[in-house]
Structure 1
C-alpha cells in the first residue's frame, strides 16, 4: 500500500507542474563548468607523424627482426617508410631487406605475398639496376622456388614477381636466361625426353583458372622476356670502344712510399693509363659466338613446338562456316603465338645457319597449322571484339603471318606460292585502310613493307612489290598529310630501291611533296633527302614541280620554314636548309631565275647560298 501511495503522490506533483513556466534565471543553462584535455599516452606510440611535422625514424634492425616473425600491416608499413624515407639505412641494409622481402614471396597467405610484391616493386624503383646486381641471385633463387612450388597459388603469383623484375631489371633477367627459362617453361610444359630439348604442353590439374587462361598469362610474359633477351643480345653484339684519355706515367716499383695515416697531407691525384669502360659493360657476359648460337638454338627448339601445339588445339576446323573464322579467345592466343615466333626469328636472323635451320625445320608446321586458314577473322559479335586483339579482321595476326610468310617463301618458293595471292591481297587491303594513330599497326606494316623491299625479297617478289608500292602511293595521295608514316616509307623505298619508277605514272604524289616545301612551316628530313635524290637521278616531274613553286619555296625558306626530324637524333637545321636551297640548282628556266634574282636579299647563310646559285645559273645561261 505504501508504494502505491508514493506513486499517486508523485503523479499528482507532475500534474501541478504542468503548464507552469520557470522563471528567467532558472531557465538558463550553466556554462561555468571547467574543461580539461584528455590525453591518452599509450596511443601516441603508434602515431607516424610527430607534431613538429618530421616523420618518425624507425630502427631498421628492429623492423627486420620483427618481419621474420610477424607480417602485420604495421611492420610492413614501417619497412615501407624505411625504404622511401630513410635512404641511408636502406642502402646500407639493402641485402638484408631484399632477403626479408623475397622470403615473403613463398608465404602461404595470399595477402602477405601481395604485400611482398608491392615492397619489392618499391625496392627496385628506389635503387638502380647496377646497384641491384650483387643481390640479384637472391631474388633469382626465390623466383625459381616460386615457379616450381607445389602450391598452384604460389606458382601463379610467381608471374607477378617476374613482372617486377622484367620491368625494373631487364638486363639482369636477360643475362640469367639459362637459369630462368627452363623453370618458366615448366609452368605450361614438360620435356619430352631427357636428351631432347623439345617440350610438350602439360595440363594444370587442380588450378582455379583454366589451362588456356593460364597459358595466355605465361605467354604474355614470355614475349616481354624474349624482347629483353633480344635487346641484351644486340647490345652485346655492338662493338664497345675502349678509350684512354690519360697520359702514361712511369712507376718505380722499388721506391717506397711511407706516410703517417694520422698526418694531414695534401696528396695529388694522378691520371692512370687505364681504359675507361661504360658502366653498361658490366652487364655483358663474355661468351664465344659458338656457345651463344647454341643457346639461342636451344631456346628456339624449346619454344617453337609449344606454339604450334598450342594453336593445334584452337585452330578452326573445316566444319566452320568460314575457313579462318575464330572466336575472340583464339584470336588473342594467335596474336601471342605470332608475336613469340617473330621474336624468336629476330634472335636467329643475324645467323645464316640458324636461320636456314629454322626455316627448314618449321616450314611444314607453319604451312599446315597456320597458313592453311589464312586470312583469319573473328566470328564473335561486335561487343566482344576489341581493337587490341586485331579487330574483326584480325589485322595484327594476319600481318604477322604475312611477315613470316615472306621468310618461308624465300627458302621454298614453290611450296608457298599457293598463298601468294591471298597474302598480297590482304597487304593491299591493309594499306588502303591504314590508320596513322594505331602504333602497333604502324610498326607491323612498316616492318612488313621493309621486308618486302629488301634485296633478298626483290629477287622473288618483284611484280608483287610494285603492286604494293602503287597501293602505298595511292593511299598517300588520298590522305595528303605531311607527317605521315606512309610518306616516310615511300621516301625510304625511293632511296633504297632506285628501280622503283612508279612515281612517274602518278605525279600528284611528287606535287604533294613539293607543296610541303612551299607552304608548310615544318618540313621532315626524309622529304628533303628523297627530293634531293630524285633531282640527282634526273626525275623530270620533280624538277618541273620545283620550277613551278620556286618563288614560294624561297619565300617560305627565308621566313618561317623549320626542319623536323627523328626525335632520337639531333637535327642540324642550317644543313638541311642548305639542301633545300641546293634544289634550285636544277632550275634552268631563265624567267624563273630572273624572278628569284629580284627577290629581297638578306644576310643569312641560306640567302647568300641562294644568291650564289642563281648568279651561277644565270651566268651559265
Structure 2
C-alpha cells in the first residue's frame, strides 16, 4: 500500500515543470472549429407527434390509472386524457370503447373532484368526436347516467345533472332519441310512488339533512327536465321537417301557368310518399280506441305522451302550490314572489309548454286531436285555478335592495329572472289560450286580465328592463290572442282585445320589439289578410300599419310572407295601402336592384312578388304619363338583370 503511494509521488516529480515560461501564442486558446452531427433516431422521424415541448400521454397507462384506488391518481389520469384529446392523439379512436367505459365509471366515483373531472373530460371528448362515432357507445353513457341519477348518495345524484348538461350541450339528438329511458329517472329524483286504494300516483319527496333546500334541489331537477323536453320537441320537429323535405320534389315545387302547354297538377302528397295512410286511425276520434290502430309506433307514442302528462302534471302543480303566495284579501304584499318561487313558476310553465309542443307535433303527424282534447279536459280548469289566480300578474321581491348591505355577492341563478316576472305572466296567458282554445267563454274574466296585462306591458317601458328572455313567449302570446283567438275574444272583450291590437301596432311602428320585430310583422300581416278579423277589429285600427307597410320595400331585405300579405291587400283593393304604395313607387323601383327577398325560391321569383304589386296601383290610370316614363327609364337604367327590368316594364305598362 505504501509503496504505491511513493511510486505516484516519484512520477509526479519526474514530470516536466514549466516554471516562468508561457505557452506559445495559439496554444492557450480553445479551438472551436470542430464539427458535430445531430443524432437522430429513425423511428422518431416516422411519428410527427414526438416533438419537443409537447407533453406525451400514454393512453393505456391513463386508462389503467382510472381504476386506481387513489382518487388523486384518477383525477390526474382524467387531466392527462384531456391533454391527449386536445392534442388529437391518434389512439383515441382505437380506444374509444375503453375511454367511454372508464370515464363513465368515474362519474359514479365517491370523490367529488374525480366526478367533476370526469364531466369535464366527457365534454372535451364529445366536442372532439363526431356524433356518429359516439352513437354506438351511447348506451354505455346512458346506463351510467341513469345509475347516477338514482344513486343512493345525494352528492352523486347532484353531479349526474352536470353530466346531463354536458350531453345536452354536445349530443342533444342522441339524448332525445334515448329520452324515454332517461325521463323516468327525473321522477325518481324528486318523488316516490304512492298507492292509495286502486289509484297509484306520485308524491314529492323532502330531502332532510342536506346543504341545499328541497325547493332548490327540485328546481335543479325540473330545470334539466325542461331542457330535456325542449330538446325532445326540437328533435321531433326536425325529424318531421326532414321527412317532408325528403319526400318532396323540390324541382317541381314551383308551378308556372302557361296557356301554350297542358297543365298537370299532382294530387298525391309529396311527403312520406311511400308511407301508407292508416284511415282507421285518422277517422277514429275516441281516446281509448287508438290502441286498435295498426301503427304500433303511433300508439306507443300516444301512450308515452299520455304517461308524461299523467306523471308530470300533478308533480308540477304540487311544486307550485308549495311556493306560491297565499291567497289573502287584505294586502298586496303577498302577491310578491320569492326568488325560489319565481324560478319554480318559470320552470313549471316551460315544462307545460313543452308538453303542449310535443302533443302538437304528434297530432300533426297522425292527424288526430284526441290527446289534446284529453289534456284540456283533465287539466284546463286545474291550470286556471292554480296559476291565474287573484294575485296575477306576479312580481318578484327586489333582491338587489336586500343585498346592498351584504358583503358577499349573491350567486347567479341558473336562469336570469326579471323582477317583473314578464316571461312567467306572458306564458300563463299563452297557455290559457292552449287550454281554452275552443271554450274562451268559460274563463272570460281571466282572459280579460291577460289582455289588460299584455297591453300594459306593450304601452310601458317595463319590458325594456332586465333580460329579454320573455320575447319568444310574447310572440306566441300575441299570435294566440290576436290571430288564433282574436275573433272569439272580440265578442267577449271587444275593448280589451282592440286595445291590445292597438298597443301592438304602436309598439311595432315605434320599433320597440327589438329582435322579434320581424315575427310581429308577420303576425300583423296575417291578421290583415283575414277578412273576418279585419271586420271584427275594425278597418280604422289598421290604417297606420297599412300606411307603413309599403315602406318595407325600401329596406335591404323583406320577407316573402309580408309580400304575400301585400299582394292580398292589393287584390282586395285596400285604398289605404295602395295610396301609400303609389306615393313611393319611384323609390321602390329604384331600390329594386338592391333589395333581397328572404324565403323566395330564387332572385327572379322573389322580385316578381314585388313587381306584381305595381299592377294593383293601376299606374296607367293613376300616375302621370311623364312620371311613368321616368319610372320606366329608372328601371331600365338601375336594374342590371334584363329579365327583371323587362318584367318591371311589362307590369308598369300593362293596361
The TM-score range, normalised by the shorter chain, is 0.7 to 0.9
Distance 1:50 1:412 in 2: 70
* Superposition pairs of residues 115-154 of structure 1, within 5 angstroms: 115-154=117-156
Task: Give the match for residue 302 of structure 2.
Answer: 293
Number of positions where the alignment pairs a residue of Structure 1 with one of Structure 2: 526
Distance 1:437 1:334 in 2: 18
Distance 1:179 1:79 in 2: 29
Q: Does the residue aligned with 2:508 lie in a helix, a strand or coil?
A: helix
Distance 1:163 1:481 in 2: 32
The reply to whether residue 306 of structure 1 matches residue 318 of structure 2 is: no
Task: Give the match for residue 260 of structure 2.
Answer: none
Q: 1:595 aligns with which of 618, 627, 640?
A: 627
Q: Does the residue aligned with 1:191 lie in a helix, a strand or coil?
A: strand
Distance 2:369 2:51 in 1: 69
Q: 1:575 aligns with which of 605, 620, 627?
A: 605
The reply to whether residue 563 of structure 1 matches residue 589 of structure 2 is: no
Distance 1:184 1:536 in 2: 55
The reply to whether residue 89 of structure 1 matches residue 80 of structure 2 is: no
Residues 1:427 and 1:593: Cα distance change in structure 2 (over 3 Å): farther
Structure 1 residue 287 displacement after superposition = 5.2
Distance 1:87 1:240 in 2: 41
Task: Give the match for residue 282 of structure 2.
Answer: none
Does the CA contact (< 8 Å) of 1:564 and 1:571 recur in 2?
no
CA distances 1:452-498 after superposition (whole Å, capped 9, x unpaired) = 24556644555465443233223233339998333333123223566
* Superposition pairs of residues 135-534 of structure 1, within 5 angstroms: 135-193=137-195, 198-237=201-240, 239=243, 288-319=297-328, 321-322=331-332, 324-349=335-360, 350=363, 352-372=369-389, 373-380=391-398, 383=401, 390-410=417-437, 412-433=439-460, 440-453=469-482, 458-459=487-488, 461-462=490-491, 463=494, 465-479=497-511, 484-485=517-518, 486-495=520-529, 499-500=533-534, 502-517=538-553, 519-534=554-569
Q: Does the residue aligned with 1:511 lie in a helix, a strand or coil?
A: helix
Residues 1:146 and 1:437: Cα distance change in structure 2 (over 3 Å): closer
Distance 2:395 2:514 in 1: 33
Distance 1:437 1:510 in 2: 32
Structure 1 residue 417 displacement after superposition = 1.8
Does the CA contact (< 8 Å) of 1:197 and 1:302 recur in 2?
no
CA distances 1:401-459 after superposition (whole Å, capped 9, x unpaired) = 11111223335545412212211101222233465996532211111122224556644
Does the CA contact (< 8 Å) of 2:550 and 2:580 recur in 1?
yes
Does the CA contact (< 8 Å) of 2:417 and 2:467 recur in 1?
no
Distance 1:359 1:153 in 2: 39
Q: 2:643 aligns with which of 588, 592, 605?
A: 605
Task: Give the match for residue 13 of structure 2.
Answer: none
Larger displacement relative to structure 2 (433-442 or 537-546): 433-442
Does the CA contact (< 8 Å) of 2:349 and 2:428 recur in 1?
yes
Does the CA contact (< 8 Å) of 1:166 and 1:225 recur in 2?
yes
Residues 1:64 and 1:52: Cα distance change in structure 2 (over 3 Å): closer
Q: TM-score, normalized by length of structure 2?
A: 0.73
Distance 1:146 1:429 in 2: 47
Distance 1:316 1:407 in 2: 25
Does the CA contact (< 8 Å) of 2:433 and 2:481 recur in 1?
yes
Distance 1:508 1:341 in 2: 37
Q: 1:542 aligns with which of 574, 577, 597?
A: 577
Does the CA contact (< 8 Å) of 1:315 and 1:326 recur in 2?
yes
The reply to whether residue 67 of structure 1 matches residue 66 of structure 2 is: yes
CA distances 1:207-250 after superposition (whole Å, capped 9, x unpaired) = 2111111111111111100112222333455537778x9xxxxx
Q: Does the residue aligned with 1:68 lie in a helix, a strand or coil?
A: coil
Does the CA contact (< 8 Å) of 1:143 and 1:161 recur in 2?
yes
Distance 2:565 2:438 in 1: 33
Larger displacement relative to structure 2 (321-330 or 535-544): 321-330
Larger displacement relative to structure 2 (90-99 or 592-601): 592-601
Structure 1 residue 87 displacement after superposition = 4.2
RMSD: 3.4
Residues 1:467 and 1:231: Cα distance change in structure 2 (over 3 Å): same
Structure 1 residue 118 displacement after superposition = 0.9
Q: Does the residue aligned with 2:201 lie in a helix, a strand or coil?
A: strand
Does the CA contact (< 8 Å) of 2:79 and 2:121 recur in 1?
no
The reply to whether residue 554 of structure 1 matches residue 564 of structure 2 is: no
Structure 1 residue 297 displacement after superposition = 0.6
Task: Give the match for residue 52 of structure 2.
Answer: 53
Q: Does the residue aligned with 1:88 lie in a helix, a strand or coil?
A: coil
Structure 1 residue 203 displacement after superposition = 0.6
Structure 1 residue 80 displacement after superposition = 2.3
Structure 1 residue 528 displacement after superposition = 2.6
Q: Does the residue aligned with 1:190 lie in a helix, a strand or coil?
A: strand
Residues 1:384 and 1:336: Cα distance change in structure 2 (over 3 Å): farther
Distance 1:314 1:547 in 2: 59
Structure 1 residue 138 displacement after superposition = 1.3
Distance 1:480 1:149 in 2: 49
Larger displacement relative to structure 2 (426-435 or 127-136): 426-435
Structure 1 residue 310 displacement after superposition = 0.8
Larger displacement relative to structure 2 (208-217 or 489-498): 489-498
Residues 1:543 and 1:152: Cα distance change in structure 2 (over 3 Å): same
Distance 2:377 2:533 in 1: 32
Does the CA contact (< 8 Å) of 2:325 and 2:337 recur in 1?
yes
Residues 1:574 and 1:480: Cα distance change in structure 2 (over 3 Å): farther
Q: Does the residue aligned with 2:67 lie in a helix, a strand or coil?
A: helix
Larger displacement relative to structure 2 (93-102 or 484-493): 484-493
Larger displacement relative to structure 2 (477-486 or 573-582): 477-486
Structure 1 residue 167 displacement after superposition = 1.7
Q: Does the residue aligned with 1:83 lie in a helix, a strand or coil?
A: helix
Distance 2:59 2:482 in 1: 61
Residues 1:198 and 1:481: Cα distance change in structure 2 (over 3 Å): closer
Structure 1 residue 308 displacement after superposition = 0.8
